[in-house]
Amino acid sequence: MSSLSKKLVIAGAMLLLLLVLVFYVGRAHDYQQAEQQSRVQATQLSHYFSSELARFKTIPTLVSANDLVKSFVIKQGIGEQAVNYYLEDIQRASGASDVYLMDLSGSVVASSNWQVDYTFLGSNFAFRPYFYLAKQGGKVAYFALGMRSSERGIYFSEPVIDKGKVIAVVTLKVNAKKFEQDRQLLNASDSTHFYITLEDSVIVMSDVADWRLKSLKPLNDAQMAALIKSRRYLSHKPSLLAHNHKPLSKQTAQQNIQLDGKQARFISATETIDIINAKASVLVDVTNVELAQIPRLLWFSVFYAIAVVPNQMAMVRCAGYKKLLISRHSLEQEVI
């Protein structure tokens, strides 16, 4: 084997080793970037939800302190239409789905949707935690499926108090779709997704429709019975979402989840949403992170060829020239 061939073989072997190194370093870098991206977006998502929920949470406080509302409850129905108009104005101005007033039996006596066929007027929501907890004097934020619409929503309730006694309960509902649509507007990237889970590990909001109302953990018979009894999800039984979870740190994890009928790989980060005792997770898609290394490897090969091959060729030529000089000098010595 000639000297040139040996050097080319060595250069090729070195290129292969460097390509392997570049592949693993590049993949590790992309994973680190995905982890950082998921952390930043999870924090942003948590702040967005917290600020929006805090805004809606203040509205029942304003309604419960309104003299018109208190007078209506105390006088037992006098001025109903004025209260209906007032609640309708509040609903439109705030962007909420519905705002309604319940008496101490849980029956709706005034509502922002008084004028539609599916009005809440006359409905009874005494079984809902957002009613009976507010009736006891608490301020409540609660997720549930609507009894009539079956749509997902967050309910904010507060007692109406007169002379130190609870006389009624005000409830405001925000449709979960509002937050999902806002999230889509906030994030233009197709490589990231999100979901919101409650303490029961059920996904209540997500930009991926197939993930909604599915559980991240298996539910035994007792847990499933408790969920059905609470009627938070009405008669819906959350099924298990096919996924596996590998923690990377306290905040981040690697997850494999079914997406569009295929198994996808994500780096996820999670933050808390204290108002509704929930967790917000943002997932950055790393399914094709290995394929993403191909352009990097091709560019490195090109730079390597430009930098190394001419240098090797020059060294071979230099070595040949030196050999020629030595041969010539040796011949001259023999002639002398």
pLDDT value at residue 82: 94
The residue with tokens 């059905």 is 228
Q: Name residues whose C-beta falls within 8 Å of residue 279's C-beta, 6 or more positions apart in sequence.
A: 196, 197, 270, 271, 272, 273
pLDDT band at 237 (very low <50, low <70, confident <90, very high): confident
What six digits make up the tokens of 36?
């950082």
pLDDT over 70 at 330, yes or no = no
Over residues 241-261, the mean pLDDT reads: 85
Which amino acid is it at 217? Answer: K
Lowest mean pLDDT, pick from 89-93, 97-101, 306-310: 306-310
Question: Which stretches of the chain are DSSP H helices?
Answer: 3-64, 67-74, 80-94, 129-135, 176-186, 221-230, 293-335
Q: Rounded to the nearest 5 degrees, what angle is found at the Cα of 52, between the Cα atoms of 47 and 57?
A: 125
pLDDT over 90 at 135, yes or no = yes
Structural contact between residues 145 and 154, judged by C-beta atoms closer than 8 angstroms: no
What six digits make up the tokens of 50?
């917290």
pLDDT band at 143 (very low <50, low <70, confident <90, very high): very high
The DSSP code sequence of 155-189 is EEEEEEEETTEEEEEEEEEEEHHHHHHHHHHH---
pLDDT tens digit sequence for 263-304: 889 999 999 999 999 999 999 988 877 666 677 767 767 776
Give dist(CA 187, CA 196) in Å, integer: 16
Lowest mean pLDDT, pick from 40-44, 49-53, 125-129, 305-309: 305-309
The residue with tokens 């942003």 is 44
